[in-house]
A and B are shown apart, each in its own frame.
Chain A
Amino acid sequence: MSGAFRRAGLVLGLPVVLFVVWWFASYDSKDFYRPPLHKILEAFRDTWFGERMVQDVLPSLIRLGIGYAAALAVGVTLGVAIGSARWLRALLEPVLEFLRAIPPPVLVPIVILLAGIEDRMKVIVIVSGAVWPVLLNTVEGVRAVDEVLADTCRSYRIRGLARLRHLVLRSASPQIMTGARQALAIAIILMVISEMFAANNGLGFLVVQFQRSFQVTEMWSGVLLLGLIGVALSLAFRFVDRRVLRWYYGLRAVERQPK
Protein backbone atom coordinates (compact mmCIF):
# COMPACT_ATOMS: atom_id res chain seq x y z
CA MET A 1 0.00 0.00 0.00
CA SER A 2 2.75 2.43 0.97
CA GLY A 3 4.57 1.25 -2.18
CA ALA A 4 1.66 2.40 -4.33
CA PHE A 5 1.65 5.79 -2.55
CA ARG A 6 5.37 6.12 -3.07
CA ARG A 7 5.06 5.40 -6.77
CA ALA A 8 2.14 7.82 -7.16
CA GLY A 9 4.21 10.41 -5.31
CA LEU A 10 7.17 9.92 -7.61
CA VAL A 11 5.04 10.12 -10.74
CA LEU A 12 2.90 13.10 -9.72
CA GLY A 13 5.35 14.94 -7.48
CA LEU A 14 7.18 17.09 -9.98
CA PRO A 15 4.13 17.97 -12.12
CA VAL A 16 2.31 19.11 -8.96
CA VAL A 17 5.29 21.18 -7.81
CA LEU A 18 5.66 22.80 -11.24
CA PHE A 19 1.95 23.52 -11.37
CA VAL A 20 2.01 25.15 -7.92
CA VAL A 21 5.13 27.21 -8.73
CA TRP A 22 3.62 28.37 -12.03
CA TRP A 23 0.31 29.16 -10.30
CA PHE A 24 1.82 31.39 -7.61
CA ALA A 25 4.68 32.87 -9.64
CA SER A 26 2.26 34.07 -12.30
CA TYR A 27 -0.64 34.79 -9.94
CA ASP A 28 -0.64 38.61 -10.19
CA SER A 29 1.32 38.88 -13.41
CA LYS A 30 0.44 42.01 -15.38
CA ASP A 31 2.66 41.00 -18.28
CA PHE A 32 0.50 40.75 -21.37
CA TYR A 33 2.56 37.94 -22.87
CA ARG A 34 2.77 35.95 -19.63
CA PRO A 35 -0.74 35.78 -18.25
CA PRO A 36 -1.45 34.20 -14.84
CA LEU A 37 -2.08 30.46 -14.86
CA HIS A 38 -5.59 30.80 -13.49
CA LYS A 39 -6.46 33.03 -16.45
CA ILE A 40 -4.99 30.44 -18.83
CA LEU A 41 -7.08 27.72 -17.20
CA GLU A 42 -10.19 29.85 -17.53
CA ALA A 43 -9.39 30.42 -21.18
CA PHE A 44 -8.75 26.73 -21.53
CA ARG A 45 -12.24 25.91 -20.30
CA ASP A 46 -13.93 28.62 -22.38
CA THR A 47 -11.93 28.00 -25.54
CA TRP A 48 -11.89 24.24 -25.88
CA PHE A 49 -15.01 22.86 -24.24
CA GLY A 50 -17.49 23.95 -26.85
CA GLU A 51 -17.80 23.92 -30.56
CA ARG A 52 -14.04 24.24 -31.05
CA MET A 53 -13.75 20.71 -29.75
CA VAL A 54 -15.77 19.56 -32.75
CA GLN A 55 -14.54 22.12 -35.27
CA ASP A 56 -10.83 22.11 -34.54
CA VAL A 57 -9.64 19.52 -32.04
CA LEU A 58 -11.53 16.62 -33.58
CA PRO A 59 -10.40 17.26 -37.19
CA SER A 60 -6.82 17.50 -35.96
CA LEU A 61 -7.09 14.22 -34.10
CA ILE A 62 -8.79 12.49 -37.02
CA ARG A 63 -6.04 13.58 -39.40
CA LEU A 64 -3.48 12.44 -36.86
CA GLY A 65 -5.21 9.08 -36.54
CA ILE A 66 -5.46 8.50 -40.28
CA GLY A 67 -1.90 9.66 -40.93
CA TYR A 68 -0.48 7.57 -38.09
CA ALA A 69 -2.40 4.46 -39.12
CA ALA A 70 -1.28 4.89 -42.73
CA ALA A 71 2.33 5.37 -41.63
CA LEU A 72 2.14 2.15 -39.59
CA ALA A 73 0.57 0.20 -42.46
CA VAL A 74 2.99 1.48 -45.10
CA GLY A 75 6.02 1.21 -42.80
CA VAL A 76 5.32 -2.35 -41.68
CA THR A 77 4.39 -3.58 -45.17
CA LEU A 78 7.44 -2.08 -46.86
CA GLY A 79 9.63 -3.00 -43.90
CA VAL A 80 8.66 -6.68 -44.08
CA ALA A 81 9.28 -6.72 -47.85
CA ILE A 82 12.63 -4.94 -47.60
CA GLY A 83 13.74 -6.91 -44.56
CA SER A 84 12.93 -10.22 -46.25
CA ALA A 85 14.66 -9.69 -49.60
CA ARG A 86 18.34 -8.83 -49.71
CA TRP A 87 18.25 -7.60 -53.31
CA LEU A 88 15.37 -5.25 -52.55
CA ARG A 89 17.30 -3.86 -49.60
CA ALA A 90 20.39 -3.25 -51.74
CA LEU A 91 18.26 -1.60 -54.39
CA LEU A 92 16.29 0.71 -52.12
CA GLU A 93 18.76 1.58 -49.39
CA PRO A 94 20.41 4.63 -51.07
CA VAL A 95 17.04 6.11 -52.01
CA LEU A 96 15.60 5.49 -48.55
CA GLU A 97 18.63 7.09 -46.90
CA PHE A 98 18.08 10.19 -49.05
CA LEU A 99 14.34 10.42 -48.45
CA ARG A 100 14.76 9.84 -44.73
CA ALA A 101 17.27 12.68 -44.51
CA ILE A 102 14.74 15.25 -45.77
CA PRO A 103 13.13 17.07 -42.83
CA PRO A 104 9.39 16.49 -43.35
CA PRO A 105 8.29 20.13 -42.70
CA VAL A 106 10.17 21.17 -45.82
CA LEU A 107 7.83 18.92 -47.79
CA VAL A 108 4.80 20.94 -46.77
CA PRO A 109 5.11 23.57 -49.54
CA ILE A 110 5.64 20.85 -52.14
CA VAL A 111 2.73 18.76 -50.89
CA ILE A 112 0.54 21.85 -50.93
CA LEU A 113 1.34 22.29 -54.64
CA LEU A 114 0.64 18.65 -55.39
CA ALA A 115 -2.22 17.84 -53.05
CA GLY A 116 -3.81 21.16 -52.18
CA ILE A 117 -4.31 22.50 -48.67
CA GLU A 118 -7.09 20.24 -47.52
CA ASP A 119 -6.98 17.22 -45.24
CA ARG A 120 -5.18 15.13 -47.84
CA MET A 121 -2.09 17.37 -47.66
CA LYS A 122 -1.93 17.20 -43.89
CA VAL A 123 -2.26 13.43 -43.83
CA ILE A 124 0.46 13.11 -46.45
CA VAL A 125 2.79 15.30 -44.39
CA ILE A 126 2.17 13.21 -41.28
CA VAL A 127 2.80 9.97 -43.17
CA SER A 128 5.94 11.32 -44.84
CA GLY A 129 7.57 11.91 -41.48
CA ALA A 130 6.11 9.16 -39.32
CA VAL A 131 6.72 6.31 -41.75
CA TRP A 132 10.53 6.26 -41.35
CA PRO A 133 11.02 5.01 -37.82
CA VAL A 134 8.37 2.32 -38.44
CA LEU A 135 9.94 1.28 -41.74
CA LEU A 136 13.54 1.17 -40.55
CA ASN A 137 12.77 -0.58 -37.28
CA THR A 138 10.63 -3.15 -39.08
CA VAL A 139 13.46 -3.88 -41.50
CA GLU A 140 15.85 -4.45 -38.59
CA GLY A 141 13.31 -6.59 -36.73
CA VAL A 142 12.57 -8.76 -39.74
CA ARG A 143 16.27 -9.26 -40.47
CA ALA A 144 16.88 -10.39 -36.91
CA VAL A 145 14.45 -13.33 -36.97
CA ASP A 146 16.08 -16.18 -35.04
CA GLU A 147 17.56 -18.83 -37.34
CA VAL A 148 16.47 -21.74 -35.18
CA LEU A 149 12.89 -20.46 -35.17
CA ALA A 150 13.05 -19.96 -38.92
CA ASP A 151 14.30 -23.55 -39.32
CA THR A 152 11.56 -24.74 -36.99
CA CYS A 153 8.98 -23.11 -39.26
CA ARG A 154 10.58 -24.61 -42.34
CA SER A 155 10.69 -28.13 -40.99
CA TYR A 156 7.07 -27.94 -39.81
CA ARG A 157 6.16 -26.53 -43.21
CA ILE A 158 4.75 -23.33 -41.72
CA ARG A 159 4.89 -20.89 -44.61
CA GLY A 160 3.19 -18.08 -46.42
CA LEU A 161 0.75 -16.04 -44.38
CA ALA A 162 1.03 -18.30 -41.32
CA ARG A 163 4.79 -17.77 -41.29
CA LEU A 164 4.34 -14.02 -41.72
CA ARG A 165 1.82 -13.82 -38.93
CA HIS A 166 3.29 -16.22 -36.40
CA LEU A 167 7.00 -15.84 -37.05
CA VAL A 168 8.01 -12.68 -38.90
CA LEU A 169 5.62 -10.09 -37.49
CA ARG A 170 5.66 -11.43 -33.94
CA SER A 171 9.40 -11.73 -33.87
CA ALA A 172 9.81 -8.19 -35.21
CA SER A 173 7.09 -6.79 -32.96
CA PRO A 174 9.41 -5.34 -30.26
CA GLN A 175 11.27 -3.32 -32.90
CA ILE A 176 8.04 -2.41 -34.68
CA MET A 177 6.66 -1.05 -31.41
CA THR A 178 9.84 0.97 -30.85
CA GLY A 179 9.38 2.49 -34.29
CA ALA A 180 5.70 3.09 -33.66
CA ARG A 181 6.52 4.95 -30.43
CA GLN A 182 8.92 7.30 -32.21
CA ALA A 183 6.46 7.68 -35.08
CA LEU A 184 3.71 8.79 -32.71
CA ALA A 185 5.79 11.68 -31.41
CA ILE A 186 6.74 12.72 -34.94
CA ALA A 187 3.12 12.43 -36.13
CA ILE A 188 1.92 14.81 -33.39
CA ILE A 189 4.58 17.36 -34.31
CA LEU A 190 3.69 17.14 -38.00
CA MET A 191 -0.02 17.35 -37.25
CA VAL A 192 0.62 20.78 -35.71
CA ILE A 193 3.13 21.94 -38.31
CA SER A 194 0.92 20.95 -41.26
CA GLU A 195 -1.84 23.10 -39.77
CA MET A 196 0.39 26.11 -39.27
CA PHE A 197 1.11 26.56 -42.98
CA ALA A 198 -2.25 26.58 -44.65
CA ALA A 199 -5.40 25.61 -42.89
CA ASN A 200 -8.78 26.85 -41.79
CA ASN A 201 -9.16 24.62 -38.78
CA GLY A 202 -7.15 22.49 -36.40
CA LEU A 203 -5.08 22.93 -33.28
CA GLY A 204 -1.95 24.24 -34.97
CA PHE A 205 -4.01 26.67 -37.01
CA LEU A 206 -5.74 28.01 -33.89
CA VAL A 207 -2.56 28.48 -31.88
CA VAL A 208 -1.06 30.55 -34.70
CA GLN A 209 -4.36 32.38 -35.12
CA PHE A 210 -4.50 33.29 -31.43
CA GLN A 211 -0.93 34.51 -31.51
CA ARG A 212 -1.54 36.71 -34.56
CA SER A 213 -4.66 38.22 -33.03
CA PHE A 214 -2.94 38.80 -29.66
CA GLN A 215 -5.19 36.38 -27.81
CA VAL A 216 -2.19 35.38 -25.74
CA THR A 217 -4.08 33.61 -22.96
CA GLU A 218 -5.92 31.46 -25.50
CA MET A 219 -2.65 30.74 -27.23
CA TRP A 220 -1.15 29.47 -23.97
CA SER A 221 -4.20 27.31 -23.39
CA GLY A 222 -3.73 25.77 -26.85
CA VAL A 223 -0.16 24.82 -25.97
CA LEU A 224 -1.41 23.30 -22.73
CA LEU A 225 -4.01 21.27 -24.62
CA LEU A 226 -1.39 19.97 -27.07
CA GLY A 227 0.77 18.89 -24.16
CA LEU A 228 -2.14 17.07 -22.54
CA ILE A 229 -3.04 15.34 -25.82
CA GLY A 230 0.56 14.20 -26.13
CA VAL A 231 0.54 12.76 -22.62
CA ALA A 232 -2.81 11.03 -23.17
CA LEU A 233 -1.65 9.47 -26.44
CA SER A 234 1.59 8.26 -24.96
CA LEU A 235 -0.29 6.68 -22.03
CA ALA A 236 -2.61 4.97 -24.51
CA PHE A 237 0.43 3.77 -26.42
CA ARG A 238 1.99 2.37 -23.24
CA PHE A 239 -1.21 0.48 -22.53
CA VAL A 240 -1.26 -1.12 -25.98
CA ASP A 241 2.49 -1.79 -25.86
CA ARG A 242 2.23 -3.66 -22.55
CA ARG A 243 -0.50 -5.87 -23.97
CA VAL A 244 1.05 -6.59 -27.36
CA LEU A 245 4.54 -7.22 -25.94
CA ARG A 246 3.59 -8.95 -22.72
CA TRP A 247 5.62 -11.99 -23.77
CA TYR A 248 8.62 -9.79 -24.55
CA TYR A 249 8.73 -7.98 -21.21
CA GLY A 250 8.18 -11.29 -19.41
CA LEU A 251 10.97 -12.97 -21.35
CA ARG A 252 13.36 -10.10 -20.67
CA ALA A 253 12.58 -10.12 -16.96
CA VAL A 254 13.36 -13.86 -16.85
CA GLU A 255 16.61 -13.38 -18.77
CA ARG A 256 17.73 -10.63 -16.43
CA GLN A 257 17.29 -12.81 -13.35
CA PRO A 258 20.55 -14.17 -11.94
CA LYS A 259 20.83 -17.84 -12.79
Chain B
Amino acid sequence: MLAVRGLRKVYEGHGRRVEAIGDLTFTVGAGEFACVVGPSGCGKTTLLRCVAGLLPPTAGQIEVDGRPVSGPPRGLALVFQEYGRSLFPWLRVRDNVELPLRSARVPRGRRRDLVSEALASVGLGDVHHAYPWQLSGGMQQRVAIARAVAYQPRVLLMDEPFAAVDAQTRADLEDLIRSVWQRFGVTLLFVTHDIDEAVYLGQRVIMLSAAPTHVAEDLPIDLPVERDQLTTRADARFTELRGHVYAQIQAAKRAEPSEV
Protein backbone atom coordinates (compact mmCIF):
# COMPACT_ATOMS: atom_id res chain seq x y z
CA MET B 1 0.00 0.00 0.00
CA LEU B 2 2.78 2.35 0.98
CA ALA B 3 6.36 1.79 -0.16
CA VAL B 4 9.42 3.91 0.51
CA ARG B 5 12.54 2.84 -1.38
CA GLY B 6 15.97 4.37 -1.02
CA LEU B 7 14.51 7.72 0.06
CA ARG B 8 17.10 10.43 0.45
CA LYS B 9 16.53 14.10 1.14
CA VAL B 10 19.19 16.77 1.19
CA TYR B 11 18.34 20.39 1.96
CA GLU B 12 20.57 22.88 0.25
CA GLY B 13 20.70 26.62 0.56
CA HIS B 14 22.70 29.52 1.97
CA GLY B 15 25.90 27.56 1.44
CA ARG B 16 24.76 24.89 3.88
CA ARG B 17 24.01 21.32 2.97
CA VAL B 18 21.96 19.26 5.39
CA GLU B 19 21.37 15.61 4.76
CA ALA B 20 18.05 15.09 6.54
CA ILE B 21 17.36 11.58 5.29
CA GLY B 22 20.19 9.29 4.23
CA ASP B 23 18.64 6.12 2.88
CA LEU B 24 15.20 4.97 4.00
CA THR B 25 13.43 1.85 2.85
CA PHE B 26 10.27 0.32 4.32
CA THR B 27 6.79 -0.72 3.31
CA VAL B 28 3.47 -0.55 5.10
CA GLY B 29 0.84 -3.10 4.08
CA ALA B 30 -2.81 -2.29 3.42
CA GLY B 31 -4.72 -1.66 6.63
CA GLU B 32 -1.58 -1.69 8.73
CA PHE B 33 -0.91 0.71 11.61
CA ALA B 34 2.77 1.64 11.65
CA CYS B 35 4.42 4.10 14.00
CA VAL B 36 7.64 5.91 13.22
CA VAL B 37 9.85 7.04 16.11
CA GLY B 38 13.30 8.46 16.17
CA PRO B 39 15.54 10.89 18.00
CA SER B 40 14.60 14.53 17.57
CA GLY B 41 15.88 16.06 14.38
CA CYS B 42 16.02 12.73 12.57
CA GLY B 43 13.83 13.87 9.69
CA LYS B 44 10.50 12.35 10.72
CA THR B 45 8.53 15.31 9.44
CA THR B 46 10.63 15.41 6.26
CA LEU B 47 9.76 11.76 5.67
CA LEU B 48 6.07 12.43 6.11
CA ARG B 49 6.12 15.46 3.84
CA CYS B 50 7.85 13.41 1.15
CA VAL B 51 5.28 10.61 1.45
CA ALA B 52 2.47 13.20 1.30
CA GLY B 53 3.91 14.57 -1.93
CA LEU B 54 4.50 18.00 -0.39
CA LEU B 55 8.27 17.77 -0.69
CA PRO B 56 10.21 16.28 -3.61
CA PRO B 57 12.83 13.71 -2.49
CA THR B 58 16.43 14.13 -3.56
CA ALA B 59 16.59 10.45 -4.52
CA GLY B 60 14.55 7.28 -4.17
CA GLN B 61 10.92 6.41 -4.84
CA ILE B 62 7.73 6.53 -2.87
CA GLU B 63 4.67 4.59 -3.93
CA VAL B 64 1.19 5.01 -2.54
CA ASP B 65 -1.35 2.44 -3.65
CA GLY B 66 0.97 1.20 -6.38
CA ARG B 67 1.51 4.62 -7.93
CA PRO B 68 4.70 6.65 -7.68
CA VAL B 69 4.25 9.88 -5.72
CA SER B 70 5.07 13.06 -7.63
CA GLY B 71 2.58 15.40 -5.95
CA PRO B 72 -0.08 15.00 -3.27
CA PRO B 73 -1.60 11.60 -4.14
CA ARG B 74 -5.29 10.83 -4.32
CA GLY B 75 -6.74 8.99 -1.35
CA LEU B 76 -4.18 10.27 1.11
CA ALA B 77 -4.92 12.48 4.09
CA LEU B 78 -2.51 14.19 6.43
CA VAL B 79 -3.13 15.30 10.02
CA PHE B 80 -0.73 17.96 11.23
CA GLN B 81 0.64 18.61 14.68
CA GLU B 82 -0.45 22.25 14.47
CA TYR B 83 -4.20 21.66 14.59
CA GLY B 84 -4.81 25.37 15.23
CA ARG B 85 -3.19 26.24 11.92
CA SER B 86 -4.54 23.41 9.80
CA LEU B 87 -8.24 24.16 10.32
CA PHE B 88 -9.78 27.06 8.44
CA PRO B 89 -10.67 29.63 11.11
CA TRP B 90 -13.29 31.23 8.83
CA LEU B 91 -15.18 27.98 8.33
CA ARG B 92 -17.40 26.32 10.89
CA VAL B 93 -16.51 22.81 12.03
CA ARG B 94 -18.91 21.22 9.58
CA ASP B 95 -17.62 23.23 6.61
CA ASN B 96 -14.03 22.45 7.56
CA VAL B 97 -14.79 18.75 7.35
CA GLU B 98 -16.81 19.19 4.18
CA LEU B 99 -14.44 21.35 2.14
CA PRO B 100 -12.15 18.58 0.81
CA LEU B 101 -15.26 16.62 -0.20
CA ARG B 102 -16.71 19.60 -2.06
CA SER B 103 -13.42 20.06 -3.81
CA ALA B 104 -13.48 16.37 -4.78
CA ARG B 105 -17.00 16.87 -6.18
CA VAL B 106 -18.71 14.42 -3.86
CA PRO B 107 -22.50 14.85 -4.30
CA ARG B 108 -24.24 16.93 -1.63
CA GLY B 109 -26.28 14.20 0.03
CA ARG B 110 -23.32 11.85 0.27
CA ARG B 111 -21.23 14.73 1.63
CA ARG B 112 -23.70 15.40 4.39
CA ASP B 113 -23.69 11.75 5.44
CA LEU B 114 -19.90 11.49 5.40
CA VAL B 115 -19.47 14.67 7.44
CA SER B 116 -22.05 13.65 10.06
CA GLU B 117 -20.63 10.16 10.34
CA ALA B 118 -17.05 11.41 10.64
CA LEU B 119 -17.91 13.99 13.30
CA ALA B 120 -19.93 11.42 15.24
CA SER B 121 -17.05 8.92 15.06
CA VAL B 122 -14.71 11.37 16.82
CA GLY B 123 -17.36 12.25 19.41
CA LEU B 124 -18.16 15.71 18.02
CA GLY B 125 -21.73 15.18 16.89
CA ASP B 126 -22.88 18.34 18.64
CA VAL B 127 -20.48 21.07 17.52
CA HIS B 128 -21.18 21.19 13.78
CA HIS B 129 -21.83 24.92 13.83
CA ALA B 130 -19.04 26.09 16.09
CA TYR B 131 -15.91 27.75 14.77
CA PRO B 132 -12.72 25.74 15.39
CA TRP B 133 -11.24 28.46 17.62
CA GLN B 134 -14.21 28.16 19.95
CA LEU B 135 -13.10 24.62 20.79
CA SER B 136 -10.34 23.27 23.02
CA GLY B 137 -7.09 22.04 21.49
CA GLY B 138 -8.07 18.39 21.81
CA MET B 139 -11.42 19.03 20.16
CA GLN B 140 -9.76 20.93 17.34
CA GLN B 141 -7.51 17.96 16.66
CA ARG B 142 -10.62 15.76 16.65
CA VAL B 143 -12.06 18.00 13.95
CA ALA B 144 -8.88 17.58 11.92
CA ILE B 145 -9.14 13.81 12.37
CA ALA B 146 -12.82 13.89 11.37
CA ARG B 147 -11.89 15.83 8.25
CA ALA B 148 -9.32 13.17 7.36
CA VAL B 149 -11.81 10.35 8.06
CA ALA B 150 -14.60 11.94 6.01
CA TYR B 151 -12.21 12.17 3.07
CA GLN B 152 -12.12 8.34 3.11
CA PRO B 153 -8.40 8.06 2.52
CA ARG B 154 -6.74 4.73 1.91
CA VAL B 155 -3.62 6.09 3.56
CA LEU B 156 -3.66 8.35 6.61
CA LEU B 157 -0.50 10.13 7.69
CA MET B 158 -0.22 11.72 11.11
CA ASP B 159 2.62 14.04 12.07
CA GLU B 160 2.97 14.08 15.87
CA PRO B 161 -0.72 14.89 16.08
CA PHE B 162 -0.97 14.76 19.86
CA ALA B 163 2.28 16.53 20.76
CA ALA B 164 0.55 19.81 21.56
CA VAL B 165 -2.31 18.62 23.79
CA ASP B 166 -2.32 17.84 27.50
CA ALA B 167 -1.68 14.33 28.79
CA GLN B 168 -5.27 13.29 29.53
CA THR B 169 -6.58 14.58 26.22
CA ARG B 170 -3.71 12.78 24.61
CA ALA B 171 -4.72 9.43 26.11
CA ASP B 172 -8.30 9.95 24.87
CA LEU B 173 -7.09 10.83 21.40
CA GLU B 174 -4.83 7.77 21.29
CA ASP B 175 -7.78 5.51 21.98
CA LEU B 176 -9.84 7.45 19.48
CA ILE B 177 -7.31 6.94 16.72
CA ARG B 178 -7.15 3.20 17.46
CA SER B 179 -10.91 2.96 17.14
CA VAL B 180 -10.98 5.07 13.97
CA TRP B 181 -8.31 2.84 12.46
CA GLN B 182 -10.20 -0.33 13.35
CA ARG B 183 -13.49 1.05 12.15
CA PHE B 184 -12.39 2.43 8.80
CA GLY B 185 -9.59 -0.01 7.95
CA VAL B 186 -7.24 2.71 6.81
CA THR B 187 -3.48 2.29 6.33
CA LEU B 188 -1.92 4.46 8.98
CA LEU B 189 1.56 5.90 9.23
CA PHE B 190 1.91 7.67 12.56
CA VAL B 191 4.99 9.75 13.35
CA THR B 192 5.75 10.53 16.98
CA HIS B 193 8.68 11.25 19.26
CA ASP B 194 6.89 9.56 22.14
CA ILE B 195 8.04 5.97 22.59
CA ASP B 196 5.13 4.93 24.83
CA GLU B 197 2.68 6.29 22.33
CA ALA B 198 4.32 4.45 19.43
CA VAL B 199 4.28 1.10 21.26
CA TYR B 200 0.76 1.61 22.57
CA LEU B 201 -0.71 2.50 19.19
CA GLY B 202 1.06 0.58 16.47
CA GLN B 203 1.18 -2.91 15.09
CA ARG B 204 4.71 -2.04 14.16
CA VAL B 205 7.25 0.49 15.31
CA ILE B 206 9.78 1.68 12.76
CA MET B 207 12.75 3.16 14.58
CA LEU B 208 14.88 5.69 12.76
CA SER B 209 18.52 6.53 13.33
CA ALA B 210 19.86 10.04 13.80
CA ALA B 211 20.50 12.05 10.61
CA PRO B 212 21.46 11.02 7.96
CA THR B 213 18.49 8.82 8.66
CA HIS B 214 17.99 5.17 7.92
CA VAL B 215 15.79 2.51 9.50
CA ALA B 216 17.45 1.38 12.72
CA GLU B 217 14.95 -1.36 13.44
CA ASP B 218 11.51 -2.46 12.36
CA LEU B 219 9.79 -4.01 15.34
CA PRO B 220 6.45 -5.86 15.29
CA ILE B 221 4.32 -5.05 18.34
CA ASP B 222 2.73 -8.30 19.49
CA LEU B 223 0.27 -6.77 21.95
CA PRO B 224 -3.38 -7.82 21.79
CA VAL B 225 -5.63 -5.96 19.33
CA GLU B 226 -7.90 -4.67 22.09
CA ARG B 227 -5.81 -2.17 23.99
CA ASP B 228 -6.66 0.22 26.75
CA GLN B 229 -4.69 2.77 28.68
CA LEU B 230 -4.84 0.91 31.99
CA THR B 231 -4.19 -2.75 31.23
CA THR B 232 -2.06 -2.41 28.12
CA ARG B 233 0.31 0.05 29.70
CA ALA B 234 0.60 -2.20 32.76
CA ASP B 235 1.26 -5.28 30.61
CA ALA B 236 4.72 -6.80 31.11
CA ARG B 237 5.11 -7.21 27.36
CA PHE B 238 4.37 -3.50 26.86
CA THR B 239 7.09 -2.57 29.31
CA GLU B 240 9.50 -4.92 27.61
CA LEU B 241 8.81 -3.56 24.11
CA ARG B 242 8.96 -0.03 25.37
CA GLY B 243 12.33 -0.68 27.01
CA HIS B 244 13.63 -2.17 23.80
CA VAL B 245 12.55 0.80 21.70
CA TYR B 246 13.93 3.20 24.28
CA ALA B 247 17.34 1.51 24.23
CA GLN B 248 17.36 1.51 20.46
CA ILE B 249 16.57 5.23 20.27
CA GLN B 250 19.24 6.03 22.85
CA ALA B 251 21.69 4.01 20.77
CA ALA B 252 20.57 5.86 17.64
CA LYS B 253 21.31 9.14 19.36
CA ARG B 254 24.86 7.97 19.95
CA ALA B 255 24.83 7.02 16.25
CA GLU B 256 25.90 3.42 16.70
CA PRO B 257 23.74 0.34 16.26
CA SER B 258 23.24 -1.55 19.51
CA GLU B 259 22.51 -5.16 20.20
CA VAL B 260 19.73 -5.39 22.74
Residues of A within 8 A of B (CB): 146, 148-149, 151-152, 154-159, 162, 166-167, 170-171, 173, 247-248, 250-251, 254-255
Q: Are B85 and A146 in contact (CB under 8 A)?
A: yes
Contact of B90 among A148, A154, A158, A173 (CB under 8 A): A173
Question: DSSP class of A's interface residues: helix, strand, loop or mixed?
Answer: helix
- 8 Å CB contact of B103 from A148, A149, A156, A173: A156
Contact between A156 and B85, CB atoms less than 8 A apart: no
Contact A254–B100 (Cβ < 8 Å): no
Q: Are A155 and B89 in contact (CB under 8 A)?
A: no
Contact check, A156 vs B100: say whether CB atoms are below 8 A apart.
yes
Chain B: minimal CB distance from A207 (Å)? 42
- A162-B103, A166-B88 given; A157·B74 CB < 8 A: yes
Partner of A148, one of B72, B85, B100, B131: B85
A154 surroundings in chain B (CB, below 8 A)? 53-54, 71-72
B78 neighbours in A (Cβ, 8 Å): 151-152, 155
Closest B residue to A169 using CB positions: B90
Closest residue of B by beta carbon distance from A161: B103
Complex Cα distance A45/B102, Å?
Answer: 55
B104 at the A interface (CB under 8 A)? yes
Within 8 A of A (CB), among B138-175: 151
B residues 167-219 touching A (CB-CB < 8 Å): none
30 examples of A-B residue contacts, CB within 8 angstroms = A148-B85, A148-B86, A149-B86, A151-B78, A151-B80, A152-B80, A154-B53, A155-B76, A155-B78, A156-B72, A156-B77, A156-B103, A157-B100, A157-B103, A157-B104, A158-B99, A158-B100, A162-B103, A166-B99, A167-B88, A170-B90, A247-B89, A247-B131, A247-B133, A248-B89, A250-B131, A250-B133, A251-B133, A254-B133, A255-B133
Q: Across the interface, which residues of A come within 8 angstroms of B88, CB to CB?
A: 149, 166-167, 170
Residues of B within 8 A of A156 (CB): 72, 77, 99-100, 103, 151
Contact B82 A251 (CB under 8 A): no
- A250-B131, A255-B133 are known; give 10 further A-B pairs, CB within 8 A: A146-B85, A148-B86, A151-B78, A151-B80, A154-B72, A155-B76, A166-B88, A166-B91, A173-B90, A248-B89
Give the complex CA separation of A42 and B102 in angstroms.
59
Residues of chain B contacted by A173 (CB below 8 angstroms): 90
Specify which chain B residues have a CB less than 8 angstroms from the CB of A149 in the assembled complex.
85-86, 88
Q: Is the interface of B mostly helix, strand, loop or mixed?
A: loop
Residues 100-112 of chain B: 1 if any A CB is under 8 Å from the residue's CB, otherwise 0? 1011100000000
Interface size on B, residues (CB 8 A): 26
What residues of chain B lie closer than 8 Å to A247, measured between beta carbons? 89-90, 131, 133
Which chain A residues border B93 with CB–CB below 8 Å? Answer: none
Asked if B62 is at the interface (CB within 8 A of a chain A CB), the reply is no
| Alpha-carbon distance A158/B91, docked complex (angstroms) | 15
Per-position contact with A for B52-94: 1 when CB-CB < 8 Å, else 0?
A: 1110000000000000000110101110101001101111000
A71 to B54, CA, bound (A): 36
Across the two chains, which residue of chain A brings its CB closest to B101? A156
The proximity string for B residues 116-139 relative to A, scoring 1 for CB distances below 8 Å and 0 otherwise, is 000000000000000101100000
A146 to B89, CA, bound (A): 11
Q: Which of A151, A162, A248 contacts B102 (CB 8 A)?
A: A162
> 4 shortest A-B CB distances, which residue pairs?
A156-B100, A148-B85, A247-B90, A158-B103
* Chain A: CB-nearest residue to B78: A155
A22 to B190, CA, bound (A): 72
Known A-B contacts A162-B102, A166-B91; the reply to A152 vs B74 at CB < 8 A is no
Q: Is the CB of B54 within 8 A of A148?
A: no
Tell me whether B133 and A148 are in contact (CB under 8 A): no
Is A251 touching B77 in the complex (CB atoms < 8 A)?
no
Query: How far is it, in angstroms, between the C-alpha of A21 and the C-alpha of B54 when the chains are bound?
Result: 67
Report the Cα distance A173→B91, complex, angstroms. 13
The closest CB in chain A to the CB of B157 belongs to: A155
Establish whether residues A152 and B86, one from each chain, have CB atoms under 8 Å apart when the complex forms: yes
Complex contacts, A171 vs chain B, CB 8 Å: 90
